[in-house]
Structure 1
Amino acid sequence: MLLENKNIVVYGAGGAVGGAVARGFAHEGARVFLTGRDPGVIDSVAKEIVAAGGKAETAVVDAGDEQAVVEHLDQVVADAGSVDVSFNAIGISPRGLQGIPLAELPVEDFLRPITTYSQAHFVTAKSAARHMIARGSGVIMMHTPEPARMPLPLVGGMSVGWAALEGLNRALSAEWAQYGVRSICLRTTGMVETPVIDVVYGLHADALGITKEQFTAAAGAMSHRRRPTTLAELADAAVFLASDRASAMTGTVANLTGGIIVD
């Protein structure tokens, strides 16, 4: 198992991305600590993991609240002995933020994803790094979709917020890799299996005057494979990148866009 004896904290573990990577980590032997703001949802993910033979524990934690994150990580380390991987998969609702021309978007709605994502990822990374640097090892992980790199219309401040995360990923590595702490971002297409993409594609389709099915087909056709990234593909890549087999990879973005973006 690639992640045996690893202790992994997943923020936003009740969401589609957080839940998928948490299940992948647990399947490969990790002990996963699931956090989120809805106890019912993260408890449901934990029960699935345990039923499949994995190890999972839950806690209600707001990833943007530094005190709450610090206190939770201190508890994890006191109980498990270490935090080996921190994966931040939080998301915010696209309603009122996407599908709106920039010239019509209120400033506060433009800034919301930028400040929310930047703060939460900095808080969770900084808090985990305190423990990782002391041990001389660890991995900070995050996820962004393709508008972090591509100039796409009607995504408001989301694209800027996601681009900021990729910049933060490089900065974290520049400071912490020398102490054994790697930083990795996984970039995907929109994943049609996720409820949030169903909403996003609907907002964009309405703004363009086409059906959601037409927009979904057009988005999938942009990749070389003519289909979007799947949650299973994201989870598989996350498992490998969190493992010691990816020890040379840091400060980089794993491109899982299927050719939409060619590096």
Structure 2
Amino acid sequence: MHNLKDKVAVIFAASGEVAGAVARSFAQHGAKVYVTARNLDAVKTLAGEIEAHGGHAEAGKVDALNETEINSYLQKVVADNGRLDMVFNGIGSYYRDAGSGTPTTIATFEQFLNPLQRICGSQFLTSRVAARYMIETGSEGTLLLFNASMARTKTPNMAGFASACAAIEGLTRVMAAEFGRHGIKSICICSGALLETKKIQEMITDFSGNAGIPREAMALNYTRFNILKSGPTLKQLGETAAFLVSEHGAAFNSHIVDFDCGKINLL
């Protein structure tokens, strides 16, 4: 159960449901977890929950789009522990800002760029700063990135978000090639829609209203291509992340790991 005993992990955007699930799983498997977000109160609550269940967690205020803050925080973590074993960034984008659901002919250039700058840009910043410290300390750690299966599906009205997801996959492979000689792995979890999250439920409600169709019919769009009867859960995502950064996941590097229980429409 303690596959990550004595490992040091930093989780960015940990106020979100996805990153929170990863932080809990890392801690349950024995890692010392640093949970960060712009919302300090939220990550303090998460750290307290992890500690209450026997884990070791500390909370910090970090904007995952601010390289100075990222660097300062990771510098502190390395100074306190002498190493950095894995980082995970669960940053998302508010779908309206990203133009999600808006036809490409109508979406603004700013909406198109929003997810590229916010989602892919943040993954770039946190990963490259973490890699510098892993190289300096010889940590031979794992950069665990996150994106959505929109990268490889043919879904209309999602130009910016789909482009950002595809860019994260390319970034993952480039970093694996660059940092592999230092023993650093780069992996991306590519998740299908996690129906238990508030973000997906809000999207279903809003998209059904915009399309003028019943909410139940819109919800079917998220499950109609499932190979299995059930889709992935947050807890399963956390466990998958813990496996990938552990010694058991040693064979995974440069890989895009589909986390969706199988989709007929996924390339």
TM-score by length of 2: 0.94
Matching of residues 1-263 of structure 1 within 5 Å: 1-96=2-97, 97-134=99-136, 135-260=138-263
Identical columns (%): 33
Structure 2 runs not aligned, ≥5 long: none
Task: Give the count of matched residue pairs.
Answer: 263
Q: In 2, are the aligned partners of 1:154 and 1:204 still within 8 Å (CA)? A: no
Q: Point out 4+ residue stretches in structure 1 off by more than 3 angstroms.
A: none
CA offsets, 1:19-48, max 9 Å, x none?
Answer: 000000000000000010001111111111
Q: In 1, are the aligned partners of 2:149 and 2:266 still within 8 Å (CA)? A: no
In the TM superposition, residue 211 of structure 1 has moved relative to its aligned partner by 2.3
CA offsets, 1:229-255, max 9 Å, x none?
Answer: 211111111010010111121101111
CA offsets, 1:77-118, max 9 Å, x none?
Answer: 111221100101111211242121111111111111111122
**Secondary structure at 2:238 match in 1:** helix
AA partner of residue 31 (structure 1)? K
2: CA distance, partners of 1:94 / 1:36: 19
**Secondary structure at 1:75 match in 2:** helix
AA partner of residue 115 (structure 1)? Q
2: CA distance, partners of 1:245 / 1:49: 23
1: CA distance, partners of 2:11 / 2:215: 31
**Secondary structure at 2:125 match in 1:** helix
1: CA distance, partners of 2:221 / 2:266: 18
**Secondary structure at 1:33 match in 2:** strand
Structure 1 runs not aligned, ≥5 long: none
Q: In 1, are the aligned partners of 2:84 and 2:139 still within 8 Å (CA)? A: no
1: CA distance, partners of 2:44 / 2:184: 29
In the TM superposition, residue 136 of structure 1 has moved relative to its aligned partner by 4.9
2: CA distance, partners of 1:83 / 1:108: 35
AA partner of residue 23 (structure 2)? A
Q: In 2, are the aligned partners of 1:221 and 1:227 still within 8 Å (CA)? A: no
**Secondary structure at 1:249 match in 2:** coil
In the TM superposition, residue 210 of structure 1 has moved relative to its aligned partner by 1.6
In the TM superposition, residue 212 of structure 1 has moved relative to its aligned partner by 2.4
Q: In 2, are the aligned partners of 1:98 and 1:203 still within 8 Å (CA)? A: no
CA RMSD of aligned residues (A): 1.4
